[in-house]
Structures are given as structure tokens and as C-alpha cells.
Structure 1
Amino acid sequence: MVDVLVIGGGNAALCAALMSRESGANVMLLEAAPKVWRGGNSSHTRNIRAMHDEPQDVMLESYKEEEYWQDVLKVTGGITDEFLARLVIRASSQCRDWMRHHGVRFQPPLSGTLNLSRTNAFFMGGGKALVNAYYRSAEKLGVQIRYESPVSSIEIRDGKFIAAYVGAERIEAKTCVLAAGGFESNREWLKEAWGINQYGESPADNFLIRGTRYNNGVLLKQLISLGADSVSDPTQAHMVAVDARAPLYDGGICTRIDAVSFGIVVNKNAQRFSDEGEDFWPKRYAFWGRLVAQQPGQIGYSIIDSKVLGRFMPPVFPGEKADTLEELAGKLGLDPKALQETVKTYNAACRVGTFDHTILDDCHTEGLEPAKTHWALPIDTGPFYGYAVRPGVTFTYLGLKTDDTAAVRFKGVPSSNLFVAGEMMAGNVLGKGYAAGIGMAIGTVFGRIAGTQAAKAVKNQSLKAEYAAT
């Protein structure tokens, strides 16, 4: 029997395994994926949002607790647990030295991400390098790692973890950390959650999965059915507008279309449906997948002109290019007259001040619904560019309710030996919306808490056994 069983193989799971092992516990980690695909969604990440009161190596200026909290409050619309959110915020300022100790390296932000230089620390080599560093450290410390070991169910008795099943194999452990991700790869569950829309469609049929194909939510569904307290809405998720040509799984960061803020986005009827300039892209990009999901056919089209080229991270695959809007509409499969009318109306509403893509500038629209509140420039300079986008689901927010000990709760009572971290509990902080890098902050902070608490529970069990023996 192992002391701590960690179920999952991404950032949160690895942080939990490392912390437990550093605390002296015997640890086994079960990763559902083959070794080559290890790391789950974490392998696609780039950075962590971190509080800091003064400049720190690759992080400029300061990003203090209250500003960080206001960012969380804004993107979630207040659907967040303030106590746990502030816990993550404060603890995020203390993670990076520990991360470096386990081989993670940081670098200054790249071109196109400069407005994150004050708030986010970027990983040298991206998420894959971070995951590999953690696995190397875990192996060196003696963590038992098993790949291709999806857990089909766990055994719970009176809110206490007993064992996990990998197929027919039963694995007992004194404590367990659940860090197996959300259910974004479970198409049937997504369809059940989203239902049929007003167009008679099942929106989830057209969702692309930005991350791993191994996050099927098997244990999440089982725990909820066993009475574990849950949090958030099954339709809420980190959903991004991604290139409609992206692969079904593991498209990752490179499929994101970042041109949205600098032009307009229309649906298949060539009609705008939201404010493209509401806020900086790192605070807004994860809203756009959900917005597109609510459009007919779950598809949208980002339209820009030549004036804004070079203002955003260019997409990996080129979009459609045309000298006229009529030609562009034809290439995108849109009604040319409808697109021209939409652009004409938008252009007439633009009130151009001093354009500055690095601040919330004064270029806006008047008398237009929906408005565009910043970076509103007329689309009038060819050639014109268009990118078809679909909803890209990174991870779902429905998860297990927890507290500052990371314990799974059953009817309000925290389990003595079952803990949760990462995407399986991120909904406590993220009721909706997203800010770049906060998922890694939640996973790192709660992975560390869960690992520490699991090792502590093992020691408590040993002390009780020794006391009973005397």
C-alpha cells in the first residue's frame, strides 16, 4: 500500500506528488496517457499569473493582490469564492522559487504578449518543458510513475478514500489526491450539458478540444454521484475562439486567433454579436469561445484590414486574404452584401481618437449595437483578412467543492484523506471567464496544498496507529 496516490499527470498532479514526496511520503502517480502525451493540458500552457509587490527577474513593475483580485472579479463576473481566490493570489507570489528548484526555468515574454510582462511569468520552453522538468524531479525523488493507467473508479467509504481501480487492478493507498482534469474530452457529457439550442442544434457537436483527449471526467462524475459537493455549471469552461481548421484534440495555443480585438467578428449571417474591444485580449480571449458557441452553426469569422497587421500574435496558419470585402466574403462563404453592409455600418460608427493597442484607448463606436469600446478603427484598407473560428474547449469548470485544505467535501464535511487539485476544483475560483495564466496558478497552489495535506494525513494516520498500539 502506498502512502499517497495521485491520480492525474499534469501540473497540479505533479505539484502534489512532489510536495508529498518532499514531506517524506511514499507516492505513486497514475497518468492515463502514454508517456509521449504525458502532462495533460499543462503541456500546452505558457505561463503562470503571479502576484508580486515589486519587479522580479522576468516580471516587470508590480502586480499586487488587490489588482489581481479585481482582475479575477471582473473576468468571473463575481462568480468566485473570494477566500479561495485570494488564497491562490497570495500563494502565487511564493511558488516560483520552488518551481525553479524542480527545474522550471522562466523567460521574458515574447513579442505579442508584452501586456502580460507585468502579470505573468513565462516558462522557458513552454508547458512541455515545465512538465518534463517536474517528471524528472519526481523520478529523481523516487515517485512511482505509471503511464497508460486510467483510473476507472475509486472506492469510497463514509467519505474516506480506500482504493482506486485501473481496470481490474485494485490499488490501495492511505490518502489520495484527485487531479485528473475536467470532462472536456467527453463529447456525450458536453452534449448533455449544452442540450439543443434555439437553432435546433447540439452546440457541442462543433466543439474542438484544445487539450488532451484523456480528460473524460470519469472520476468527477463518479464523485458527484457518490455525494461529493460540486461547484460551478457544466456549461462553463475555458473556451477560446480557435482556428476552425484546428485538430479535434491537442491543438493547443497555436490554434488561437488573436486578431479579434483589432477588427470585427461576425457570425455566418455576417452579423456582429459582441464587443470585440471590451478589454485586453489576455482577459477576454476565453470569453470568445463561448460567444461563438452561441451562434448558429457554432462558427464565427474574425475580419481585419491591413492597418492592424503586426499588432497581435500572428496565427500559425494564414487566413483568407482578399483585395476587396466582396472577394473576402466569397472566400469565407459569407453573403457579400451582408458583410459589406455590416462593415459599412461599423465604419460609420467608429470614432477614432489616438489608437494604441497597449492601453484601453479612446477609439470607440457611437450609436452601434453591440458597441466596440476600444481599438475601433474603420475596416477600409486592403488587403482584407478573415479567419474562421470555432469554440475551442480547454477545460471545463464543473468540479469538486473544496476549502483551503484542498479536501473533497461530502455534504459539507471534508474528507480526512481525499484531496483535489487543478481543473477538478478550479471552478471554486473560476465560476466563469478566464485570465491568462490563472489556471496554472490554481493548479500549482492547490497541487502544493493537496500534496502537503495528503502527506500530513498519512502522518496523522501513523500517529493514531501508534497510539492505538500502546
Structure 2
Amino acid sequence: MKTHHDHYDVLVAGGGQAGLIAAIVAAEKGARVCVLEGAPRTHRGGNTRHTRNLRPMHLGPLSVLSGTYDEEEYWEDLLRVTKGKTNEKLARMTLRKSTEAVDWLESRGVQFQPPLGGTLHLGRTNAFFMGGGKQLLNVLYRHAEGLGVEIHYDAMVTGIDIEDGAFKGLNVGEHRVTATAFVAAAGGFEANIEWLKEAWGDVAENFLIRGTPYNRGTLLRMMLDAGVQQIGEPDQCHAVAIDGRAPKFDGGICTRVDCVSLGVVVNENAERFYDEGEDFWPKRYAIWGRLVADQPNQVAHVIIDQKAKGGFMPPVFPAVVADTIPELAEKVGIDPVQLEKTITEYNAAAQPGSFDHTELDGLHTEGLAVNKTNWARTIDQPPYSAYSLRPGITFTYLGVEVSEKAQVQMASGKECPNIFAAGEIMAGNVLGQGYLAGIGMTIGNVFGRIAGSEAADYALNR
């Protein structure tokens, strides 16, 4: 790879939403900008390729969004899923600045569509990209190129030079590039199984990686080794229960199984292990990968009956179907006697009430070791269906610490004057654990705009 110039005002590593937005903002301010995308052009954009929405705060109807989603409700949702593991100052700033996200994207050509239904419950909170993440990327790349942003593919950073907290330059193979300001937006390390094993042990060998195979954490590791302050824990991540037939890498969002709250989930011993109806699916789907990871052989099975059909978005793989519970157990490879016992006990514990999947309906079980607190309908209407599950890792939360100006912090306490970060590589500042549907894209959007603006201001005012 050979860049057009040896020196730039702003150099961006990472070509997903956060990096592109940073590049666009910097270029709109008049900076000479170069983007280094580690993946080939066919796989550009990191995990943004697999996204479909972001979650913006809004005080009243906004574009395709209905009603109001104010700061306090948003904050309470975030606090609930993170269990307090978040930087409140940065988190609240993110929520407030998210009010500008949809308009910013629309003014640059991104189109949105009405929200999807079923188990998602996102009509008021999440704005869906028309055409998903690939449409978003295509529009942003086209807009960036129109501004003169130089973009290189297959440009994985192989070395970075940070002296006394300041960025000096980096290498892509043999080629060295320097810049007055640098934006790190190259994602996390979820595709690096060896690094995952450092945190999870050998069970990580059984993880499936929903996102890009190119997020190996190379830049993140180099920055941490150079003395940048770490944020987050290596075993915290966006981990979803996905179809066990999904590919090892890059299966994307269509491999997610969204019917958990409509049925029961059992492990290889045909036993339930967690409350499937704890909360709305967008606030709980990202805990199920971790839950499955804790089960024998990192495998589980979600069981539903005919009543659940049509109430969720089906994954790309068809369900295993049978007319009886024992037959279904045989087909998925678990003990038929134990599964029938589990389902019979669950049905007997289900209390009367009205089912309403648009609300926390309180339809629950009583007397079980693990009760279901909402949507606990009996499973008694054949044919029965099963989806086998494995942990699907989307992105990791270990990253670099940043300020409100997206400036990277050194472990020494020094603030990097010309290094900024956006997207997954710094998302752990807001997401210490758990997940809220769409907030990853919100963080990337907000900090991409901040990082691009601050980097350009630094470069152009030297």
C-alpha cells in the first residue's frame, strides 16, 4: 500500500461508521484526511456492515420515530443493563448528543425506514437504516470520497509511534504515514480467539463471531502497549445467543434467535437456567450469549410451540420441528425424558393471566427453581420448534479511555494532545457491561463526530 501523501492533517484508522463520520467531519472543516481500512473493499466497514439501527434520544417525534424518548428514560435503560458500570458524565453526554444523529445522517444521504415489529419493541426508541448497515456505509463512503477523503483498503496498521502521549506516525507494512492528528476507530478484538481465551479460557474456542473477522484488536493492543489507559474488562462483550449452525465468523445479525422471550431455554441437560421473560428483548438479548457460554459445552436450545409463530423475526436457519416434545428432544440431541419433565413442570407452574408481548405482562410461573416473570404461556400447542444456540460475540468492551473531547488518555494520567478515539475501541467508557439495542451505533456516531471535529481543530490550528 502507498498513500498519496506521506503526511495528513487527520489520519483515521478504521473504516466503520465511527471512522467514516470522523473523517467526514474533519474533511468538512477543511482538513486533508486519509482513512486506513484494514479489510478489503468487499468487507469494508467492520461490524457496521451487520447493523440495522441506532438509538437516539428525542423529545417528540423524530423522522421515523414516534413519541418521546427523553434523557432520564434513556439513562435509566442504560443504567439497568450496565448495572452502573458506565461513566455517567460521558454516557449522559452521549445521550444528549444522540439527538443530532439522525438529522446528521439524513443530511448526508442516509435513509431510514419504519421500525420492525415482533419481539423488538423499538418503534419509539430506534431508527432503522433503510437497507441496513451496508446502505449506511455505502452512503458514508460516497460522501467521504466526494469531500476528497483518501481511502485505502487492506491497510491494516502494523505499528504505531506514540511518544510522550503524542502521535507521531504509523506503519502499514513497510509504508510509514504521519499526521498532525490521529483518530483510532479500528474496533475491538472479538475476532482474535487467542485474546478471547486469555479472558474466557478454552471455552472461547466454542464461540461464534457474529461480526467481521478483521477486528483482531491489533491497533488496540499496540496502543495499550504504548501506555494508553485501558478501559473496561477483557471478558465483557456484546454476546448474543445465536443459531448454532452459524459460521465461525461474519454470520451477522440474521443468525440471532429472537424467540427466547416467547418460549423456554434449556441446556444440554434439558434443564432451564435463566428467566426468559426478565425484560423486553432489546434490553436482554445481549446477556444470552454469556448465559449460554456458562452452560455445558456452551450449547443451549430454545423451545417454542405453535402459539409463538409469527411473533418474532425468524433467523436465517429454519427451526427443528416435531409433533411431540420427546421427538423434538431426540432431534436436537438431548434427553427426551428430562425435556418432557422440564416442559411439564413449566406448564404446571404457569399462572393464569393475559398474554401481551407489547408489555411486561406479569404472566409468570410459580414454584420453579428458575421462574419466568413475563410472557409465561404454556408450551402445549404442537408442532413444537427448537433452535440450538451458541454464544455469538459481536464486539468487545475492552478499549481505551477517552475524555468528553474523545481525547485518548495515557495510563500516566497525561492526556494525548492529538490522539482521539471513536466507536468500539472506546465504547467501554459507556458500556461497562450489558447492552441496549442500537447504543453501539449511537456511541460510534456521537464520538465519531466529536473525534473528527476535535482532530480537525487541532490539526488546522497548529
- Provide the residue aligned with 2:129 in structure 1: 123
CA shift for structure 1 position 352: 2.7
Residues 256-303 of structure 1: per-residue CA shift (max 9 Å, x gap): 001100111011111111110001111110000011011110111000
> How many angstroms apart in 2 are the aligned matches of 1:58 and 1:8?
29
Cα distance in 2 for residues equivalent to 1:113 and 1:93:
25
Aligned to 2:247: 247
Q: Does 1:186 align with 2:192?
A: yes
The answer on whether the counterparts of 1:8 and 1:178 sit within 8 Å (CA) in structure 2 is: yes
CA contact (8 A) 1:162 1:173 kept: yes
Q: Secondary structure at the match of 1:265?
A: strand
- Asked if structure 2 preserves the Cα contact closer than 8 Å seen for 1:255 and 1:315, the reply is yes
What is aligned with 2:389?
389
Distance in 1, Cα, partners of 2:131 & 2:22? 22
Q: Is the 8 A contact 1:352 1:376 kept in 2?
A: no
Q: Is the 8 A contact 2:209 2:249 kept in 1?
A: yes
Query: Hey, what does 1:159 align to over in structure 2?
Result: 165
1:55-70 aligned within 5 A: 55-70=61-76
Provide the C-alpha distance between the structure 2 equivalents of 1:62 and 1:205, rounded to a whole number of angstroms: 43
Tell me which residue corresponds to 2:211: 211
TM superposition shift of 1:113: 6.0
Matches within 5 A, 1:23-422: 23-112=29-118, 115-195=121-201, 202-410=202-410, 411-422=412-423
Q: Which amino acid aligns with 1:230?
A: Q
* CA contact 1:54–1:61 (8 Å) conserved in 2: yes
Unaligned ranges ≥5, structure 1: 196-201, 462-470
C-alpha RMSD of the superposition: 0.9
Distance 1:178 1:279 in 2: 35
Which residue type is aligned with residue 206 of structure 2?
A: N
Give the Cα separation in 1 of the matches to 2:116 and 2:259: 17
Residue 12 of structure 1: which of 18, 30, 45 is its match? Answer: 18
CA contact (8 A) 2:119 2:258 kept: no
Q: Confirm or deny: 8 A CA contact 1:109 1:122 kept in the other structure.
A: yes
Alpha-carbon distance in structure 2 between the residues aligned to 1:279 and 1:342? 22
Q: What is the CA–CA distance in structure 2 between the aligned matches of 1:113 and 1:286, rounded to whole Å?
A: 14
407-416 or 253-262: which moved more?
A: 407-416
Task: Give the CA deviation at 1:361.
Answer: 0.4
Deviation of the 1:192 alpha carbon: 1.1
Off by >6 Å, runs of 4+ in structure 1: none
Q: Partners of 1:266 and 1:333 in 2: how far apart?
A: 12
Matched to 2:422, the amino acid is: A
Q: Matches of 2:307 and 2:44 in 1, distance apart? A: 41
Q: Deviations over 1:86-119 (max 9, x none)?
A: 1110011012221112211111112336610100
Q: Which deviates further from its counterpart, 320-329 or 227-236?
A: 227-236
d(CA) in 1 for partners of 2:271 and 2:231?
35
How many angstroms apart in 2 are the aligned matches of 1:245 and 1:192?
25
- Structure 2 unaligned blocks of 5 or more: 1-6
| Residues 443-454 of structure 1 aligned to structure 2 (within 5 Å) | 443-454=444-455
SS of structure 1 residue aligned to 2:284: helix
Amino acid at match of 2:272: R
Q: Per the alignment, in what secondary structure is the counterpart of residue 431 of structure 1?
A: coil
* Code of the aligned partner of 2:199: A
CA deviation after TM superposition for structure 1 residue 354, in Å = 0.7
Which residue type is aligned with residue 443 of structure 1? G
> Partner letter of residue 94 of structure 2?
V
> 2:427: which partner in 1?
426
Q: Does structure 2 retain, via aligned residues, the 8 Å contact 1:352–1:362?
A: no
Distance 1:14 1:249 in 2: 23
SS of the residue 2:121 aligns to = helix
Distance 2:72 2:372 in 1: 28
Structure 1 residue 381, shift from structure 2 partner: 1.2
The equivalent of 2:439 in structure 1 is: 438
SS at match of 1:364: coil
Partner deviation per Cα, 1:168-215 (whole Å, 9 max, x = no partner) = 1111111100000000000100111112xxxxxx11001111110100
- State the number of aligned residues: 455
Secondary structure of the corresponding residue to residue 461 of structure 2? helix
2:209–2:248 Cα contact (<8 Å) kept: yes
Q: Which moved more, 1:221-230 or 1:77-86?
A: 221-230
Distance in 1 (alpha carbons) for counterparts of 2:30 and 2:145: 15
> 2:242, 2:257 within 8 Å by CA — same for their partners in 1?
yes
What is the CA-CA distance between 1:375 and the residue it aligns to? 0.3
Could you tell me which amino acid in structure 2 is paired with residue 333 of structure 1?
Answer: G
AA matched with 1:161:
F
**Which residue identity lines up with residue 108 of structure 1 in the other structure?**
P
Structure 2 length-normalised TM? 0.97
Whole-Å separation in 1 of the counterparts to 2:75 and 2:335: 44
CA distance in 2, matches of 1:103, 1:203: 43
Equivalent residue letter for 1:129: Q
